[in-house]
Structure 1
Amino acid sequence: MFTIRFDILENEIEFSAIRAQGSGGQNVNKVSSAVHLRFDISASSLPSLLKERLLAQGDQRISKDGVIVIKAQQYRSQEQNRADSIVRLNELVASAATIATPRKATRPTRGSQTRRLDSKNKRGSIKALRGRVSD
Structure 2
Amino acid sequence: MKNIAKIDFTGEVVFNTSRSSGAGGQNVNKVETKVELRFDINASTLLDETEKEKIREKLKNQINQEDELLVVCQESRSQLKNKELALKKFKELLISALTVPKKRKPTKPTLEKIEKRLKTKKVNAEKKAMRTKPMHD
TM-score (norm 2): 0.84
Unaligned segments of structure 1, at least 5 residues: none
1:14 maps to 2:14: yes
Greater length-normalized contact order (CA 8 Å, ≥ 6 residues apart): 1
Tell whether the 8 Å contact from 2:59 to 2:97 is kept in structure 1 after alignment: no
Residue 129 of structure 2 corresponds to which residue in structure 1? Answer: 128
Taking the aligned partners of 2:131 and 2:8, their CA distance within structure 1 comes to: 65
Please give the TM-score of this superposition, normalised by the length of structure 1: 0.85
Tell me the residue number matched to 1:5.
3
- Relative to structure 2, which stretch is displaced further, 118-127 or 56-65? 56-65
Q: In the aligned structure 2, how far is the partner of 1:4 from the partner of 1:49?
A: 12
Residue of structure 1 equivalent to 2:24: 24
SS of the counterpart of 1:11?
coil
Q: Which moved more, 1:39-48 or 1:79-88?
A: 39-48
AA matched with 2:124? R
SS of the residue aligned with 1:124? helix
Q: CA, structure 1 residues 64+115, in 2 after alignment: closer, same or farther (shift >3 Å)?
A: farther
- Residue correspondences, number: 133
> In the aligned structure 1, how far is the partner of 2:96 from the partner of 2:39?
16
User: How many angstroms does 1:133 deviate by?
Assistant: 5.5
Shift of 1:130: 1.9
Identity over aligned residues, as a percent? 34
Between the aligned partners of 1:103 and 1:26, the Cα distance in structure 2 is: 54
- Tell me what 2:71 maps to: 70
Residue 115 of structure 1, CA deviation = 1.9
Shift of 1:105: 1.8
Separation in 2 of the partners of 1:73 and 1:48?
A: 31
Question: Runs of 4+ in structure 1 displaced over 4 angstroms?
Answer: none
Q: Distance in 2 between matches of 1:63 and 1:133?
A: 69
